[in-house]
Amino acid sequence: MNTSRTIRIKRPGSNDDNGLERVVGSEQKPEQESDVSSMQEYRSNLKKKIRRGVIGTVAGLAALVVGFSSLYKIQEYEQAVVTRLGKPVKVIVNSVSEDEQKEIAGKYREKGLAVSEGAGIYVKMPFIDSVTKIDRRYLRWNGYPEQIPTLDKKLIWVDSTARWRITDPLVYMESVRTEDQAQARLDDTIDPAVRNNITKRGLIEIVRNSNRDMQVTEEMRDISRNVPYVNEGRNIIIEQINEEAAGKNTNYGLEVSGVMLRGLTYVREVKESVEQRMISERERIAEKFRSEGNGEYERIMGEKERDHREIISEAYKQAQAIRGEAEKRAIEIYANGFSVTDTNSDITVTYQGFNADPQFYEFMRQLQVYDRSLTNGNVTAMLGDGNKIFGLLKGDTATSATLK
């Protein structure tokens, strides 16, 4: 039966003179000494492995950092300048045209600089080389609206704009460095070019391109004939502005193109005067239209009244003719009589006209006259002795015989 023993390994900082271990209890056995040696060897190997792993990881991370810091990418819309401790050592040219790219690349190769062309991934010296990326796309410049007098002393508000791009990256970086500085340089070159070309020309040269006939109404044709003659025109003025601005910006590695006058308006005082004149002219034209309209209205109404009278007159004429014909026919019937035959009973009834007994007709007419006259109570009739009606009223037999 083995006797158990307790073995305590010395901890760091122990004051034991042995430096390795202290045995509590009975004396050590050979087997126990072998276990302690194996444990110490295992710990030593483990520490070596951990140390090698840490060193390898640090070395790998360092290599990775160095590798990534050595690579950089140039996009399709970029160009770049590589500097080493502040001195340019390489230019990456990525121009919009092949001829321009070859020209700029050849210029810097003659100066002894390294040149690369196009977009891609490039290598640089880590930590000592720095890369400045520059946009190669067309950018927009917007000027400030300003009052400019024309040659014919008319103040106008001019609002201009332009497109520009960076053609020479190294010259750009050495002269202006940032887009804000480039915009300031463009302010100093484009604005004076616009002002100079406008002040030495009349307003008609700025707003028109040619002397083509204006598409105006008939009423405005007289006004359009008084428009001054155009000698140059707006397109030529803009071309000259572009030439002046482009020539002054090549020293900064910039190219200016497409300067445009996007706004031309009168100043407030002149604008009010022009608007009032336009209002007066429009009112005059409107009054002319109203006058012509009123004249046309009167003409139409006159024709309408004339046609109305002609129609009424013709209708009255036809009505009177019909009425006369009807009265003629009625008189003939009253005078000659007429016959009516009943188709069911074949009985014919004959009415004799007044021509059959003229005296009786005369008597009836007189009765009708007296009836219309004497039925009004306010009328008093004076009949003489010789009046036939008076004789009839008296019962004169001679008169009655005459009437019969």
Pair (149, 249) in one structural domain = yes
Residues 6 or more apart in contact with residue 174 via CB below 8 angstroms: 88
Q: How far apart are CA 272 and CA 290, in angstroms?
A: 26
Pair (150, 256) in one structural domain = yes
Pair (222, 162) in one structural domain = yes
Of 211, 239, 266, the one marking the end of a domain is 266
Taking CA atoms, 145 is separated from 133, 142, 152, 159, 207, in Å, by 32, 9, 20, 4, 17
pLDDT band at 212 (very low <50, low <70, confident <90, very high): confident
Is residue 305 one of the residues assigned to a domain? no
For the chain, give the longest Cα–Cα distance: 205
Burial class (CB in 10 A: 0-12, 13-18, 19+), 217: exposed
Q: Beta strand pairing status for 114-117 and 87-93? A: parallel
Question: What single-letter amino acid sits at 6?
Answer: T
Residues 6 or more apart in contact with residue 92 via CB below 8 angstroms: 74, 79, 80, 81, 82, 115, 116, 117, 122, 169
Pair (152, 198) in one structural domain = yes
Residue 223 is predicted with a pLDDT of 58
Residue 157 is predicted with a pLDDT of 87
Q: How far apart are CA 206 and CA 85, in angstroms?
A: 52
Pair (226, 258) in one structural domain = yes
pLDDT, tens digit (0-9, with 9 covering 90-100), for 13-69 = 444 444 444 444 444 455 566 677 777 777 788 777 888 888 888 877 877 777 777
Q: CA torsion angle for 268, 274, 278, 283 (degrees, to 10)?
A: 80
Pair (391, 365) in one structural domain = yes
Is residue 260 one of the residues assigned to a domain? yes
Closest CA to 121 of 75, 52, 185: 75
Is residue 279 one of the residues assigned to a domain? no
Q: How far apart are CA 381 and CA 402, in angstroms?
A: 23
pLDDT at 201 over 80: yes
Q: Find the helix or strand (DSSP H, E) in which 184 lies.
A: helix 179-199
Task: Specify the DSSP class assigned to residue 377.
Answer: T
Give the domain CATH number at 220: 3.30.479.30
pLDDT at 90 over 60: yes
Of 220, 244, 266, the one marking the end of a domain is 266
Residue 82 is predicted with a pLDDT of 92
- DSSP H helices in 28-145: 30-70, 98-110
Is residue 340 one of the residues assigned to a domain? no
pTM: 0.53
Task: Specify the DSSP class assigned to residue 381.
Answer: -
Pair (174, 103) in one structural domain = no
Is residue 91 one of the residues assigned to a domain? yes
Residue 346 is predicted with a pLDDT of 76
pLDDT at 290 over 80: yes
Pair (23, 120) in one structural domain = no
Pair (149, 234) in one structural domain = yes
Q: Find the helix or strand (DSSP H, E) in which 288 lies.
A: helix 268-336
pLDDT at 184 over 80: yes
User: In this structure, are residues 140 and 91 in contact, taking their beta carbons and an 8 Å threshold?
Assistant: no
Pair (156, 256) in one structural domain = yes
Residue 289 CA to its chain's centroid (Å)? 32
Pair (92, 186) in one structural domain = no
Q: For residue 374, what are its two tokens?
A: 């004497």
Residue 370 sits in which domain range? 357-403
Residue 307 is predicted with a pLDDT of 93
Closest CA to 142 of 229, 62, 259, 273: 259
Half-sphere exposure of 179 (CA within 13 A, CB side): 11
pLDDT band at 299 (very low <50, low <70, confident <90, very high): very high
Of 100, 116, 135, the one marking the end of a domain is 135
On average, the pLDDT of the chain sits at 80
Q: How far apart are CA 249 and CA 21, in angstroms?
A: 86
Task: Specify the DSSP class assigned to residue 376.
Answer: S
pLDDT band at 1 (very low <50, low <70, confident <90, very high): very low
Is residue 87 one of the residues assigned to a domain? yes
Is residue 103 one of the residues assigned to a domain? yes
Number of folded domains in the chain?
A: 4
Phi and psi torsions of 7, nearest 5°: -115, 130
Q: Find the helix or strand (DSSP H, E) in which 264 lies.
A: strand 254-266
Q: How far apart are CA 334 and CA 347, in angstroms?
A: 21
Is residue 22 one of the residues assigned to a domain? yes
Pair (246, 198) in one structural domain = yes
